[in-house]
A and B are shown apart, each in its own frame.
Chain A
Amino acid sequence: MDRRKFIKEVLLWSAGLSLSVPRFIVPGSIHAAEGAKSTLSFTEGPDYESLVSRALSSLGGMKSFVNPGDTVVVKPNIGWDRTPEQGANTNPIVVRAVVQHVLDAGASKVLVFDRTCNEKRRCYTNSGIEKSLKKLNDKRVELDHIDRRKFVPVDIDRGKSLTRREIYLEALKADCYINVPIAKHHGLSKLTLGLKNSMGVIGGDRGEMHHDLGQKLADLATVVRPKLTIVDATRLLLRNGPQGGDIKDVKIRNALIASTDPVAADAYATTLFDMKPQEIESTVAAYKLGLGEMDIAKINILKS
């Protein structure tokens, strides 16, 4: 039974105590101002914790995104039952370092989750993320599985191809949403980057998203809007993505991209694969929707 039907039945049993599934409206005003020049930090090095620290400090530190007492969502890619070496999920050290910074900035709660493709517990375990976050030993960190009661229908007013979709409530109502994708190959969209990572917060059958995928991802990006995108490029899965499995397909790149502009982050990450931002449909579609900058020349890039 699908979730909507399920909830409907539960509501029927409750004899109309509540009349509808709660709807969530994303107000346009909460988003960062559009139009300002995009800044992006690109850091390289073999120490992943220092990568995260340097990237963040060049953007003004985590304190400029997280206020004390905030509830923060950190959304890595934990989609596959693969190990960190295979480069299909966000690197666990990167995830932990980001969460650590969020904690240090005074967040009251950090939620980490993904809607996985393989069996969810295997993904959380094998990605190394569960173990890595346990090391923080901090009660404010919650690595929970998706709770299917928490998808709410959202109207995507600015969407061209996607106008309504169930989205995970926690991702919508967090004070700060930080997207931590891994950059890797994808058979249809060529690469999966930040925008594609938002697939992990939508409900329903995700298969149908593949029709007009680029536009749909851009449409989704009008409502799921990270304050910060941190692209894990420590390992690049060059072939047989998005799930890989053979470390021969993985290139160690030891790099990290961070930006408040999700389009800029994706555009720059594309260049690491020797490709142009124009080749990625979702980047182009998001740019056209005014969600960010895709012209590398117009992005303020801080290297360290």
Chain B
Amino acid sequence: MKRRRLAPLRRLGQSLFLCLFLFLFIKTDYQGSDNLQYAVNLIFRIDPLVAAATMLAAKTFIILLFPALFTIVFTFLLGRFFCGWVCPMGTIIDMSHKLARPAPNTTDWKHQNLRYYILFFVLTGALFGLPLVGYVDPFSILVRALTLALYPAFNFSSESFFTFTYLNAPPWVNSVTEPLYAFMKNYILASDPRVYTLTLLSLSILLIVLLLETVERRFFCRNLCPLGAMFSLVARFSLLRTIGGENSRCGKCQNCRSTCRMAAIDHNKAVSMEKCIFCLDCIDACPKKQISFGFAFKLAPISMNISRRGFITTAISSAAIPLFLPGRAISKRPNPKLLRPPGALSEQDFLTRCVRCGECMKVCIGNGLHPLFLEAGLEGIFSPKLSPRLGYCEYNCTLCGQVCPTGAIQKLSPEIKKKERIGLATFDKNRCLPYAKAIPCIVCEEHCPIADKAIKFKEVELVNDNGQRLVMKQPYAIDELCIGCGICEYKCPLEGEAAVSISRPDNSRLQKDALSY
């Protein structure tokens, strides 16, 4: 009798959740109304690691992250089902496994406790003001790579293809490709080509996670993922349990052990709920059908092998590192070009709350938000900044505050958003055309969205190169009106640097901090 295999069922589940994840990713975009229709940041809101780290950093309860509690309850009921069936990172790792040539499954890297250290370090760090969760959370790694690298590349290659067919292919080909392109533009592709900073860096981090598959299967999940570690801590009490071949009529084949991607089955064929992700491979592999599921409550001791000294060292170092941060020059003179999104918390709070997920950069309708590199210090990498020469903040848009899962960017009402100051515009008279070259230009003023114009002109009589007397309209910015949206810098027609640029000349974001201490 042919046995019914169960793994395809799991693969189907994984595919469905991956599709849902990608759907929400693509929907992280303007949808024709000021408010987003979907909970596009769902994946981060059900992420208990993000929830724990953010709440420890903020030292308050954040209602937005409440759904993470369900994941914990869910894990208590069904163990690490999430890792095996839902997690898009796990699915992608499993998919890429086919491309890698991995070591056999039973080999066990010796440091599988590392993930507990990482978890502990991240959480104590969050408490003491060291923002690290974004660098190890699997969804942050994944969404960042998608936003900054993979999706733009997908868009570029699609556009290249359809441009090629449009220009070169015979009409009958175009009668197929053009409707397809129109469909893709409507539902899948970005509305305009996007560019980002740190594209290759974010891609590399994801690639490293995938390449680790050549060392052992689900290397990231077994050894590094702090979210998985968090699930493990709960899953050992999981009500749903995998019952292996221990104390049974099990033979000596070891099929289950060699097939297990998580090395969850020990020599006695007991299955560790800390590790098992319900991939169902062992059930398919067991010739004697000795493996089954059952509901039971067990007070399972933690199997990790972490010394007390290890924990103390971790805690001390995560508490000590933040002491070094205020000694840096940037805490006295922050980079004036470091413009945070509208509604961002004060600098210190922002840095500790932001989980570097990249949602705001994905949604930014003006392509103005980009991950920064070192401008805010080593621990600020991948947090968002507005780069007005690359994109600007659209006056009527409030999307970044809507997608930020942690409240690092506050959700602002349109009225408040339109008054929220990101920075201030200043003119470089050595470059600005009406000053430097007696050439008329009003592009910045034309685009300034403030109804009574934060850019105004003074009319000055000038003599140009040809000796002509001209009345030149020379622009200047009015600080009281300017909100630093950056469209003037973005649209400035000069090559290279714009003649008007946005900066934070004051230390306002820092001063806010000083007061709040």
* Chain A residues in 8 Å Cβ range of B476: none
A245 and B164 contact, CB distance less than 8 A: no
Q: A10-B160, A120-B191, A246-B452 are in contact. Are A125 and B446 (CB under 8 A)?
A: no
Q: Mark each residue of chain A from 187 to 208: 1 if its CB lies under 8 Å from any CB of chain B, else 0.
A: 1100000000000000001011
20 A-B pairs whose Cβ atoms sit less than 8 Å apart in the complex: A10-B167, A14-B168, A17-B168, A21-B167, A117-B491, A118-B394, A119-B366, A119-B394, A119-B397, A120-B192, A121-B32, A122-B396, A149-B162, A187-B457, A207-B491, A210-B440, A211-B439, A240-B451, A243-B447, A249-B451
A11 to B451, CA, bound (A): 44
A81 and B394 contact, CB distance less than 8 A: yes
The answer to whether the Cβ of A132 comes within 8 Å of any Cβ in the partner chain is no
Q: Which of A9, A11, A149 has the most chain B CB within a 10 Å cutoff?
A: A149
A187 to B164, CA, bound (A): 41
Q: Tell me the minimal C-beta distance from B54 to chain A in angstroms.
A: 30
The answer to whether the Cβ of A18 comes within 8 Å of any Cβ in the partner chain is yes
Q: Would you list the 7 A-B pairs with minimal beta carbon distance, nearest first?
A: A207-B493, A245-B451, A246-B451, A188-B442, A207-B443, A187-B442, A10-B163
* Chain B residues in 8 Å Cβ range of A9: 160
A240 and B452 contact, CB distance less than 8 A: yes
The answer to whether the Cβ of B450 comes within 8 Å of any Cβ in the partner chain is yes
Counted as pairs of residues, one from A and one from B, with CB atoms less than 8 Å apart, the total is: 98
**CB closest chain-A residue, reference B182:** A144
A188 is contacted by which of B192, B366, B394, B446 (Cβ under 8 Å)?
Answer: B446
A49 to B452, CA, bound (A): 32
The answer to whether the Cβ of A6 comes within 8 Å of any Cβ in the partner chain is yes
A118 to B191, CA, bound (A): 13
In residues 7-28 of chain A, which contact B (Cβ within 8 Å)? 7, 9-11, 13-14, 17-18, 21-22
The answer to whether the Cβ of A128 comes within 8 Å of any Cβ in the partner chain is no
A207 and B451 contact, CB distance less than 8 A: no
The answer to whether the Cβ of A244 comes within 8 Å of any Cβ in the partner chain is yes
B449 and A245 contact, CB distance less than 8 A: yes
The answer to whether the Cβ of B248 comes within 8 Å of any Cβ in the partner chain is no
Q: Number of contacting residues on B, CB 8 A?
A: 39
* Chain A residues in 8 Å Cβ range of B446: 117, 186-188, 242-243
The answer to whether the Cβ of A298 comes within 8 Å of any Cβ in the partner chain is no
Other A-B pairs, 13, CB within 8 Å; known A14-B168, A121-B32, A187-B473: A10-B163, A10-B167, A13-B160, A81-B396, A117-B446, A119-B365, A119-B397, A121-B365, A149-B162, A210-B440, A210-B441, A240-B451, A242-B446
In residues 152-183 of chain B, which contact A (Cβ within 8 Å)? 159-160, 162-164, 166-168
B30 is contacted by which of A6, A14, A122 (Cβ under 8 Å)?
Answer: A122
The answer to whether the Cβ of B453 comes within 8 Å of any Cβ in the partner chain is yes
**CB closest chain-B residue, reference A142:** B182
* Chain B residues in 8 Å Cβ range of A17: 168
B441 and A207 contact, CB distance less than 8 A: yes
Which A residues fall within an 8 A CB radius of B? Answer: 1, 6-7, 9-11, 13-14, 17-18, 21-22, 81, 117-122, 125-126, 145, 149, 186-188, 205, 207-208, 210-211, 213, 240, 242-246, 249
**CB closest chain-A residue, reference B450:** A245
Give the secondary structure class of B's interface.
loop
* Chain B residues in 8 Å Cβ range of A188: 440-442, 446, 473
* Chain B residues in 8 Å Cβ range of A125: 32-33
Q: Tell me the minimal C-beta distance from B502 to chain A in angstroms.
A: 17
Q: A81-B396, A210-B440 are in contact. Are A149 and B365 (CB under 8 A)?
A: no
Q: Mark each residue of chain B from 419 to 463: 1 if its CB lies under 8 Å from any CB of chain A, else 0.
A: 000000000000001000001111101110111110001000000
The answer to whether the Cβ of B128 comes within 8 Å of any Cβ in the partner chain is no
A18 to B457, CA, bound (A): 49
**CB closest chain-B residue, reference A205:** B493
**CB closest chain-A residue, reference B448:** A243
A7 and B451 contact, CB distance less than 8 A: no
B160 and A210 contact, CB distance less than 8 A: no
The answer to whether the Cβ of B135 comes within 8 Å of any Cβ in the partner chain is no
Which B residues fall within an 8 A CB radius of A? Answer: 30, 32-33, 159-160, 162-164, 166-168, 191-193, 365-366, 394-397, 433, 439-443, 445-447, 449-453, 457, 473, 491-493
* Chain B residues in 8 Å Cβ range of A11: 167
Q: Tell me the minimal C-beta distance from A33 to chain B in angstroms.
A: 35
B397 is contacted by which of A6, A117, A122 (Cβ under 8 Å)?
Answer: A122
A149 and B166 contact, CB distance less than 8 A: yes
A6 and B473 contact, CB distance less than 8 A: no
A245 to B395, CA, bound (A): 11
**CB closest chain-B residue, reference A11:** B167
B164 and A243 contact, CB distance less than 8 A: no
Q: Tell me the minimal C-beta distance from A19 to chain B in angstroms.
A: 11
A208 and B163 contact, CB distance less than 8 A: no
* Chain B residues in 8 Å Cβ range of A242: 446
Q: Tell me the minimal C-beta distance from A243 to chain B in angstroms.
A: 7
Q: Tell me the minimal C-beta distance from A191 to chain B in angstroms.
A: 13
* Chain A residues in 8 Å Cβ range of B395: 81, 118
A211 and B441 contact, CB distance less than 8 A: yes
**CB closest chain-B residue, reference A80:** B449
**CB closest chain-A residue, reference B193:** A1
A6 and B450 contact, CB distance less than 8 A: no
* Chain B residues in 8 Å Cβ range of A205: 493
A26 to B93, CA, bound (A): 56
A6 and B163 contact, CB distance less than 8 A: yes
* Chain A residues in 8 Å Cβ range of B366: 119
* Chain A residues in 8 Å Cβ range of B166: 149
A213 to B395, CA, bound (A): 27
A1 to B155, CA, bound (A): 13
**CB closest chain-A residue, reference B487:** A118
Q: Tell me the minimal C-beta distance from B101 to chain A in angstroms.
A: 31
A2 to B441, CA, bound (A): 22
Q: Tell me the minimal C-beta distance from A131 to chain B in angstroms.
A: 10
A208 is contacted by which of B191, B193, B493 (Cβ under 8 Å)?
Answer: B493
* Chain B residues in 8 Å Cβ range of A10: 160, 163-164, 167
A210 and B167 contact, CB distance less than 8 A: no
B439 and A240 contact, CB distance less than 8 A: no
* Chain A residues in 8 Å Cβ range of B32: 121, 125
**CB closest chain-B residue, reference A248:** B451
* Chain A residues in 8 Å Cβ range of B492: 207
A188 to B433, CA, bound (A): 14
A117 is contacted by which of B396, B447, B493 (Cβ under 8 Å)?
Answer: B447
A189 to B310, CA, bound (A): 72
**CB closest chain-A residue, reference B395:** A81
A17 to B149, CA, bound (A): 30
* Chain B residues in 8 Å Cβ range of A22: 167
**CB closest chain-A residue, reference B444:** A207
A242 to B447, CA, bound (A): 8
